[in-house]
Amino acid sequence: MWNAGSPLRDIVRHARARRVLEDLHVERVFSGDRTLGQGCALAGCAVETALELLERAMARGRSGGADDGGEHPSVAALVQHIVGVHHAYAREAFEKLALLADEVARAHGARHGALGEVRALLDQLAVQQIVHFEKEERVLFPYLVALETARLRGGPLPQPPIGGLATPIRIIATEHGHADRLLEDLRIATRDYTPPDDADDDWRALYEGLRALELDMERHLALENGSLYRRGMALADEPPGSAPGAPSR
């Protein structure tokens, strides 16, 4: 269905295909204009290998597999994937993009006021998300893994972090909504990540990086809202409706 000339933007629309590109690190060099062949060359992988893996992943999808985190059979595996892939990616991206945004704002900010806003929005997003990741990794994720283990072994259930599971999940969902709004503001401030025609390489790299960050965060939030926290509520035997406010993306 794809070949070396297929635009990456078409491929990453499919969650299964996108995960293959994540594993090959092709997605990190994603740009709306690049083809699969160009992405593979930059990421240092053979395009034939990528095409074979993509075909296999899509065939698994056609044979009825779930595409909502269901390929991670346990909560523990899903948590490991979220932390190892999405939290790690975002932490690295926040650092790199902050340096780049500083550089671009210093060089062009005087004539392009939006660059200061981009820098400020990125700062807000990074600060908010780093604290958010800490809450998930130190409190909520270990609790969900312990809950799953207790259910599997039939032992006593661990004490939930704050009274019940619905309260911390509601807080987390509110923070996801906040991150979503900041990403939306970034998209507006960068005019859909479109640099001006005379933009230099740093400026273009900054906008490409922001676009890739948004794509990764979409997948990340969808896995947490749509799969991990729903599974957690089921394990805790709490009705899903008791944790309202989870965005649907």
What is the contact surface with Fe ion in residues (CB under 5 A)?
136, 224
Q: Is 182:125 a contact under the CB 8 Å cutoff?
A: yes
- Nearest approach, Cβ of 134 to Fe ion (angstroms)? 10
Residue 16 or 135: the one with the smaller Cβ distance to Fe ion is 135
Residue 6 or 128: the one with the smaller Cβ distance to Fe ion is 128
Residue 134 or 200: the one with the smaller Cβ distance to Fe ion is 134
Residue 136 or 216: the one with the smaller Cβ distance to Fe ion is 136
Structure token digits, residue 46: 């053979």
159 in helix, strand or coil? coil
Nearest Cα to Cα of residue 143 among 132, 158, 131? 158
- Nearest approach, Cβ of 18 to Fe ion (angstroms)? 17
Residue 102 or 137: the one with the smaller Cβ distance to Fe ion is 137
**Using CA atoms, how far apart are residues 218 and 212, in angstroms rounded to an integer?**
10
- Nearest approach, Cβ of 75 to Fe ion (angstroms)? 14
Q: Is 11:26 a contact under the CB 8 Å cutoff?
A: no
Burial, 238: exposed, middle or buried (Cβ in 10 Å; 0-12, 13-18, 19+)? middle
- Nearest approach, Cβ of 186 to Fe ion (angstroms)? 18
Structure token digits, residue 13: 């629309």
- Nearest approach, Cβ of 129 to Fe ion (angstroms)? 8
